[in-house]
Amino acid sequence: MASVNPEVAAVARRARPDLPLSRGRMTNSSGPQNGAADCAQELLNFLGARRESLSPLLILTHDHPDPDALAAAFALGHLAQSGFGIASTIAYGGEVGRTENRAMVRLLRIPAHKLTPGMLRRHANVALVDTQPEFENNPFPPHRRATLVIDQHPSPTVPDAELALVDPHCGASCAIVAAALLRSGAAIPPRVATALAYGILTDTQDLFRAERPDVVETYLHMLHHCDLRLLARIQNPARSRKFFTTLGKGIRDALMYRRVLISHLGPVETPDLVSQIADFLLAYRQTVWCFVTGRYKGRLHASLRTSQLDAQAGEVLRATFELRQQAGGHDTIAGGSCRIGAAEPDEVWQAKELALQARLLKRLRVPATAEPRRPFLR
């Protein structure tokens, strides 16, 4: 086992001198009332108290992990190993699909692995990042208690975990881990800093969604340590022909219902394309809401975007799906999916797409009689 960084251990001891570092601690912390500093300190306390019993730790992201999830997992693994001697493995369900995300994993050498059932059996301790045990976007077994949860998404109940750090106002889940790294005083390798900077940038829409100054400060600190050339290569990767054909279909088939832009992509190469094209189409100046769907391996994936601040897009999309737990999100960004079945005929897929579309338009108070138009065809 690697030696424990004495500076990090000292931080944990100073914060809770009454809490021996060799003993475990069972805590549930609902993060809305906690700032990033409080969450960061609780994370350090927990790792310091449980370090020997946590190793090896399985760090699990949501399915088809995005930069925020990948950065949070990468940084948590680094902090756990370098600061507390906790060995870890990063795993995910689905696949890393978006071109930028694959570039991020490759260029930063993030040791993320496709989850296998054996990983869950071999690891008594599982940390979930950028997701929660009750969410349907991860392969964590039902009725099993998580060891640690680090997330930014609001939930009606406290996650079932020994320590749950949920801060809906931090902008990105990886910002919690970044704050803990900075507070620990541990060395931050350029690869880890680059991952954290990119994770914060993507989930806050280039800091536009950063609600608190401490999130911006954390990003600036990470930027000081990161490799700017690698960051630029991640942000501007070469794209496949399939990306452009899917983008062309999304533009060509888009329908505008008043100020709601809707596009059904059909089969997609990766689920990430759905959110990527939704982001792109939202830039159309007449659009306030953008809704995009795509079919992937028997599931219908949907992304909802809006230019209205505090619009509660996550709540809108949850109400659009038949089961609320199939969707989630933030004020301006939301996503969800439901199983249809790969063998189902096209008519079944179309019926589901149109049903979601109808419920969304009703929720957004667009009259059923509203005539759509094709904004990008002459």
276-312 pLDDT tens trace: 999 999 999 999 999 999 999 999 999 999 999 889 8
Max distance between CA atoms of the chain, in angstroms, equals: 71
Residue keyed to tokens 């997701």:
131
Q: Which CATH code, of 3.40.50.2300, 3.30.930.10, 3.10.310.30, 3.40.920.10, is assigned to 243-363? A: 3.10.310.30
CA distance 42 to 51: 14
177-215 pLDDT tens trace: 999 999 999 899 999 999 999 999 999 988 888 889 999
Residue 143's CB is within 10 A of a number of other CB atoms, namely: 6
Q: Are 165 and 39 in contact (CB under 8 A)?
A: yes
- What is the rounded average pLDDT of the residues 31-42? 70
Residue keyed to tokens 């990430």:
272
pLDDT at 35: 63
Residues belonging to the chain: 378
CA distance 377 to 248: 12
**Where is 292: in which H helix or E strand?**
strand 289-296
Residues of the chain with CATH 3.10.310.30: 243-363
- What is the rounded average pLDDT of the residues 96-112? 95
pLDDT at 374: 95
Q: Which CATH code, of 3.90.1640.10, 3.40.190.10, 3.30.2130.10, 3.40.630.10, is assigned to 6-235? A: 3.90.1640.10
- Quickly list DSSP for 314-333: HHHHHHHSSSGGGEEE-SSE
DSSP 141: P
Residues of the chain with CATH 3.90.1640.10: 6-235
Q: Is the pLDDT of residue 250 over 60?
A: yes
> By C-alpha distance, which of 297, 293, 290 is closest to 269?
297
Judged on CB neighbours under 10 Å (0-12, 13-18, 19+), 157 is: exposed
Q: Which residues pair with 336 in a beta bridge?
A: 302, 327
Q: Is the pLDDT of residue 347 over 70?
A: yes
Judged on CB neighbours under 10 Å (0-12, 13-18, 19+), 258 is: middle
